[in-house]
Amino acid sequence: MKKVLWIFIVLLGFFTLFVIYPLSSDARPIKVGIIDCYSGSATTFTYDVRDAFKIAVDEVNAKGGVLGKKLEFTTRDTKFKVDLGISMTKELIMRENIDILMGTISSSVALAASEIVKGEKIPFFCTFSKSAKITAEKGHRYVFGITENTSMIGKAAAVGLAKKPYVRYWIAGDDYEYGHALADGVWGNLQKKRADVKMLGQSWWKVGEPELTPYLTAILSAKPDAVIFATGGASMVNIMKAAKATGFAQKIPMFVHTATELSTLMPLGQQAPEGVLGTSNYHFYFPKTPENDAFVKVFKKEYGRYPKVGALYGYIAAQFIIKGFEKAGKVDTERFIDAIEGMKVGSPVGEVELRACDHQAVLPMFLGKTKRSRDYPFFIATDITTIPGPEVMPTCEEIKKARAK
């Protein structure tokens, strides 16, 4: 008899759980889980994504939330490790019951998380990893690219470099997926635009290599016309320092994707090399629009620093999440995705569309040159050419072909 009673109690327990839980879900907030690397040298980028995201979340919650629900988010530190990223993604989905997943700066973590959300049917906003695979061959219904990727950077750089008279190139960079993908992106596109370019050689150093002088002196002795540097993380600053110290920048024209970014130029202060070509999605001083000024003002007031490129990504991701649920009319994953496909949101760099065919945000690229500034204690980008998003993105047909493979 006792046994029957126990079974009855357990069944009752389950029943109440299943009945009450969906009923109570109306009051449940909309939950966003962020997996990202919050330790080591990546933090300078990832904090900006999180902090700008928080501004947008606080703003919307102050106005009464999304669809009358509070928007909440929780973060997990993946320490740049794939295994940690995977277990944290699963933990967020299963234990935290998140509605949206966001992150991360590591391409391998992003690709692994993308595989998980595909099965779990949770929308994933990829906010910083630059692998073009995420929205191209590995793309699917539940993954969204909210950042430039290596193929976009490559095309933008090729547009800039093809106009220059350089023929004999050297390629150097950080020896990991991002570095090689970036170099291949620039070089492949440059070859398409200019048949006469030649590669003299390549140098690759290990990620985080502090002393780049030996690499630069070796390249100097090969005397190329120009050098394409594919650097990420801390190397972005190291390469500029070594270029300045060896006099490399005055001798050989350089393209460094991140040369004009604030995360590179701010630490260098007045000691950056001048005239280095670089591309970026965002400058807090360009474009000079009321939207950008307002964004910079709020960010600076909140955190006491200028927003960097990551802040743009965090802000845009938040806008898509907020506007998407509002348009969908209720918290329903499939309706949310239908709503944001092709959606346009306002941003500090103008209106940004989320392309329906590959879920890639159409972001403009700013190609510029480093120059001493009169207004700031660090160098800024000048002679900025805006390359509109559609010009640097692969076409929908190309995406289809890549995914069919």
Q: Name the residues that contact other proteins, by CB under 8 A.
A: 39-44, 46-47, 172, 175, 200-206, 208-211, 213-215, 217-223, 233-234, 236-238, 241-242, 244-248, 251, 263-264, 266-269, 271, 305
Q: Which is nearer to other proteins, 41 or 333 (CB)?
A: 41
Report the nearest approach of other proteins to the CB of residue 224 (Å): 10
Q: What single letter denotes the amino acid at residue 133?
A: K
- Nearest approach in angstroms of CB 138 to other proteins is 27
For the bound state, the minimum distance from the C-beta of residue 400 to other proteins, rounded and expressed in Å, comes to 34
The number of beta carbons lying within 10 Å of the beta carbon of residue 163 is 11
Q: Which amino acid is at 162?
A: A
| Whether 312 contacts 364, CB under 8 Å | no
Distance in angstroms (rounded) separating the CA atoms of residues 218 and 249:
14
Nearer to other proteins, 310 or 324 (CB): 310
Contacts of 34 (CB under 8 A, 6+ apart): 49, 50, 53, 73, 74, 75, 76, 101, 102, 103
Min CB(223)–other proteins separation in Å? 7
Q: Which is nearer to other proteins, 138 or 244 (CB)?
A: 244
The nearest distance, CB 105 to other proteins, in angstroms, is: 12
Least CB distance from residue 309 to other proteins, whole Å?
14
Those residues whose C-beta lies under 8 Å from the C-beta of residue 229, and which sit 6 or more positions away, are: 171, 172, 173, 239, 254, 255, 256, 257
Nearest to other proteins of 105, 363 (CB atom): 105
Rank residues 268 and 298 by Cβ distance to other proteins and give the closer one: 268
Helix (H) or strand (E) segment spanning residue 317: helix 309-328
Tell me which residue of 145, 146, 140, 132 sits closest to 188, measured CA to CA: 132
Angle of CA points 170, 379, 365, to nearest 5°: 60
Given the complex with other proteins, which of 284 and 320 has the nearer CB atom?
284
Neighbour tally for 22: CB within 10 Å: 10
CA 388, CA 359: separation in Å to the nearest integer?
Answer: 17
Q: How far is CA 232 from CA 91, 111, 268, 286, 374, in A?
A: 29, 18, 16, 22, 27
Question: Least distance from C-beta 170 to other proteins, angstroms?
Answer: 9
**Which token pair is 162?**
């093809």
Find the shortest distance in angstroms from Cβ 206 to other proteins: 5
Q: Which is nearer to other proteins, 29 or 40 (CB)?
A: 40
Nearer residue to other proteins within complex by CB, 111 or 216: 216
- What is the SS3 assignment for 33? strand
Report in angstroms how near the CB of residue 352 gets to other proteins at its nearest.
Answer: 26
Contact yes or no for 257/181 (Cβ under 8 A): no
Cβ nearer to other proteins, comparing 113 with 236: 236
